[in-house]
Amino acid sequence: MRVDSEVGCELLIFNTNQMMFSLSIARKKINAKDDINITDFSWYLERILPVVMNLQVEQISCEQL
């Protein structure tokens, strides 16, 4: 969880070539007038990518189930 917010995620490392972030802790959603339930993936990418930039990132996939 970020110290400056109530939003967090879980980091899952499968092997030396693959990791996954599970956005299950007070998920950040897109602000909209209606009661919309869409994850704000850009919010996470802006904060996670700078941390892992020293790694070789080949693919990023975002999906909401």
44: phi then psi, degrees, rounded to nearest 5? -70, -45
Confidence (pLDDT) at 1: 47
Bridge-based pairing of strands 8-15 and 18-25 is antiparallel
- Confidence at residue 22, expressed as pLDDT on a 0 to 100 scale: 85
Q: What is the pLDDT of residues 12-65, one digit of tens each?
A: 888 777 888 888 788 888 887 777 788 888 888 888 888 877 878 888 888 888
pLDDT at res. 37: 82
Element (H, E) at 51: helix 41-52
Report yes or no on whether pTM surpasses 0.75. no
